Amino acid sequence: MKKIFAFLLCVAMLTLCFVGCGETADENKGNADDTTVADDTTVADDTTAADDTNKVIKMATNAAFPPYEYKEGDAFVGIDVEIATAIAKKLGYTLEIVDMEFDSIITSVQQGEVDFGMAGMTVTDERLLEVDFTSSYATGVQSVIVVDGSDIASLDDLAGKKIGVQLGTTGDIYASGDYGEDNVTKYGKGADAVIALKGGDVSAVIIDNEPAKAFVAQNEGLKILDTEYAIEDYAIAVKKGNTQLLDDINKALEDLTADGTIDAIIAKFIKAE
């Protein structure tokens, strides 16, 4: 009887040992899983290693606004594109451009989908309630495009006329305020407003002066009125409260202004008259 008891005890201990061993193996498996997690850490390490090369900074723009941002084939080109590339490089990032409707840029910055918005964007009091702006890097002037031989020769002549603008731009905001929403037709792109002008759907287009010059150069029979509707500052929009990025970009802009980079980029795209 004692022997049987001793035998049973042995079996019980062996069983315990197996279970125990099993548990250890399971723990090892657990460790193996941890190793997989550690692989992720390797990915994290890569990210660290990539700090100088692969860290991406995202810019929202509307690449239909020459000479600030437009496309040549699949490539984004223009003043803003080159300045943003120079800023990103200075800050140790690779620039990624996200092309969208002009109207969506501020929301996209506010929601953190992109790091900043740069699109020949004018600093206005209303926008300052929604985003923070860096120091200004360029000046813009709202201009009026009409067809050759138009009876519109001054801003006063615009009263009661159909005006085309790009949706959500300052041209849209000012024209809607001064001449009435009913007289303003809003297009997704400035170029579409220009097509409407050529087709007689609108009698004038209000848009920033440099794109205005580019559109007039690309299209026969158009001219820019010798009048300045509004003078504005262009700046880069960042999410409200993102003071680190704001300060970093401002410092980069300061350096790029001091060493002549900004002037050189602007001169490359805007030939002195």
Which residues contact ligand ARG by CB under 6 A? 61-62, 64-65, 69, 102, 119-122, 140, 166, 169-170, 208
Identify which of residues 170 and 250 has a Cβ nearer to ligand ARG in the complex.
Answer: 170
Q: How far apart (Å, rounded) are the C-alpha atoms in residues 191 and 200?
A: 14
To ligand ARG, the closest distance from the beta carbon of 159 in angstroms equals 22
Identify which of residues 115 and 208 has a Cβ nearer to ligand ARG in the complex.
Answer: 208
Cβ neighbors of 81 (< 8 A, separation 6 or more) are 61, 69, 97
Question: How many degrees, rounded to 5, is the angle at CA 70 between CA 196 and CA 233?
Answer: 90
Q: Which two tokens stand for residue 2?
A: 């004692």
Identify which of residues 85 and 251 has a Cβ nearer to ligand ARG in the complex.
Answer: 85
Identify which of residues 169 and 185 has a Cβ nearer to ligand ARG in the complex.
Answer: 169
To ligand ARG, the closest distance from the beta carbon of 50 in angstroms equals 30
Q: Which two tokens stand for residue 177?
A: 């305020």
- Contact predicate 82/70, CB 8 Å: no
Identify which of residues 61 and 185 has a Cβ nearer to ligand ARG in the complex.
Answer: 61
To ligand ARG, the closest distance from the beta carbon of 265 in angstroms equals 16
Identify which of residues 120 and 164 has a Cβ nearer to ligand ARG in the complex.
Answer: 120
Q: Which phi and psi (to 5°) does residue 165 adopt?
A: -145, 170
- Contact predicate 202/164, CB 8 Å: yes
Question: How many of the other CB atoms lie within 10 Å of CB of 39?
Answer: 10
To ligand ARG, the closest distance from the beta carbon of 155 in angstroms equals 18
To ligand ARG, the closest distance from the beta carbon of 125 in angstroms equals 13
Q: How far apart (Å, rounded) are the C-alpha atoms in residues 25 and 45?
A: 29
To ligand ARG, the closest distance from the beta carbon of 46 in angstroms equals 34
* Cα distances (angstroms) measured from residue 267 to each of 62, 97, 231, 232: 21, 22, 20, 19
The overall longest dimension of the chain from CA atoms, in Å, is 122
